[in-house]
Amino acid sequence: MRILSRYVQKQFYVYLALCFSGFLAVFIVVDLAGRLSGFIDSGVSGGTIFLYYTLSIPYMGILILPMAMLLASLFCFGNLARFGELAAMKSAGISLYSIALPVLGAALLVCTASFFLTDRVMPGSNRKRAAIVQGKPRAVFTPMVSQVVLQDVDEQILSVGTYFRNEARGEQVTLDRYEGMRLVDKLRAEEMRWHSGGWTFLRGEVRKFSEDGGEQLTRFRAMPAREVTLTPEDLSRDVRSADELSFTELTALVQRKQRIGDDVVRVQVARYMRVSFPFTGFVMALFGISLSARTQRAGKPLLVGICLLISFVYYGCIQAGRVMGWNGILPPFPSAWAANLLFLGLGAVMLIRTRR
C-alpha cells in the first residue's frame, strides 16, 4: 500500500507542478498585456519589468494554487481511470477513499507550506511590487516622518508635525481630547520624547474648555503623557494594505484598533482570510477527486473548462463572503471560511455518494 500511495502522490505532484506552471504563465502574460503600454509610457526598463513579475509570483501563486490543485486532481484520477489503473485498484479491494487519502495528504501538506511561505514572503514582495508601480521606494526606511495623525483611546487625536524614528522623538505636537463631538482640551507642545516606557511632552500648554464656553490655560515645561497609549512603533508604522502585512502584523493591527475603539471588521476579515485562503487548495483537491469519478471519459480540454468554471464560482463565493463580512451580514470568521465550508461539504457529500 505504501508503494501505491507514493505512486499516486507522485502522479499528483507532477500534474500539480505542470498545472501551476501553466496557470502562472497565463496569469503573467495576461497581466503583462494589460500593463505593457503603461510600462512603455513610463520608460520602465526590461529589468524592472522582470523584477516586478518575479515579485508577483508569491501573490499570483496563492491565487492560482487552488485552481492548480483542482485540475491536478482531475488529471491524476482521470488518467488512473483512463489507463485502467483505478479499476485494477478497486478490483484488488482498495476503495476510492484509500486511493484519495495520499492525494489529500499531499494537498494538505502543500497548502500548509503555502500558508507559511506566503505569510513570510508575500507581504514583503507586495510592498516592493507596489513601490515599482508607484515609482517610489516605499521599501526604503526613512528616519523622519511628517504629519503623523493617529487616533488614541478615550477619543484622543495625536498630531505630530515631524517624527524622528531613530530617536523616538516628535516635534510640533498636538493632542486633542473629545467627549462626543465637543473638544474638551487641547495640548500643544514643542516636543515629545519616549523615555522609560512612556511619552513626555516638553515646553507646551494645555487649554481646557468648559461647556459654558470658558477656557483655562496651563503652561508647562515637562508633562508626562500618561493618557497616551501610542508607542514609537505605532508612530513609525507605514500605511500598508492588508496584502502587505503578515498574519502577526494583522493581529497587532486588530489589537491596536480595538484598543482605540476603531472599526476592525475589514482587518479581521483580512486576518481570517490569510489562513482560510491557502487551504482553499485542499478543498479544491477534495472536490476534484469527487468530481473525477463523474468525468472519467472527459478529455483534458473539457477538464480545463470544468476547472475554470468551478474556480470562478468558488472565487465568487469567497468574494461574496468577504463582502458580507465587511458589511456586518456575517461575523468576520464565518465570512472568511464560508466558501471553504460550503465546497468542503459538497465535496464530502459527492465523495460519499461515489461508488467505492
Band of the pLDDT at 238, cuts 50, 70, 90? low
* Residues 243-262, mean pLDDT to the nearest whole number: 78
* Residues 71-78, mean pLDDT to the nearest whole number: 89
Percent of the chain with pLDDT over 70: 93
* Residues 105-122, mean pLDDT to the nearest whole number: 90
DSSP 329: S
Q: Which of 90, 63, 58 is nearest to 77 (CA)?
A: 90
Residue pair 168/184 in contact by the 8 Å Cβ criterion: no
Q: How far is CA 70 from CA 15, 215, 286, 311, in A?
A: 10, 69, 8, 8
Place of cell 461515489: 354
- pLDDT, residue 342, reads 94
pLDDT at 144 over 80: no
* Residues 142-161, mean pLDDT to the nearest whole number: 81
Average pLDDT score, the chain: 86
- pLDDT, residue 242, reads 77
DSSP 150: E
Q: Say how many C-beta atoms besides its own lie within 10 A of residue 270's C-beta.
A: 22
pLDDT at 244 over 90: no
- Give 313-320 contacts, CB < 8 A, sequence gap 24+: 314/66, 314/280, 314/284, 314/339, 314/343, 317/342, 317/343, 318/273, 318/277, 318/280
What burial letters (b/e) apply to 115-148, b meaning 16+ CB within 10 Å?
A: beebbebbbebbbbbbbbeeeeeeeeeeeebeeb
C-alpha cell at 280: 482553499
Band of the pLDDT at 276, cuts 50, 70, 90? very high
Q: State which amino acid sits at residue 105.
A: G
pLDDT at 228 over 70: yes
Q: Which of 149, 176, 151 is nearest to 163 (CA)?
A: 149
pLDDT, tens only, 45-57: 888 899 999 999 9
Band of the pLDDT at 261, cuts 50, 70, 90? low
Residue pair 313/343 in contact by the 8 Å Cβ criterion: no
pLDDT at 356 over 60: no
- pLDDT, residue 1, reads 55
pLDDT at 272 over 90: yes
Band of the pLDDT at 298, cuts 50, 70, 90? low
Please compute, for residue 47, the number of CA atoms within 13 A of its CA located in the half-sphere on the CB side: 0
DSSP 231: -
- What is the CA angle 132-135-138, rounded to 5? 75
- pLDDT, residue 292, reads 79
- pLDDT, residue 127, reads 81
Residue pair 247/118 in contact by the 8 Å Cβ criterion: no
Q: State which amino acid sits at residue 305.
A: G
Residue pair 86/80 in contact by the 8 Å Cβ criterion: yes
Rank 94-103, 296-305, 323-332 by mean pLDDT and report only the highest: 323-332
pLDDT at 139 over 60: no
Query: What residue ranges do the domains of the chain occupy?
Result: 2-137+265-353, 144-237
56-70, 146-160, 177-191, 313-327: which has the minimum mean pLDDT? 146-160
- pLDDT, residue 140, reads 45
pLDDT at 241 over 90: no
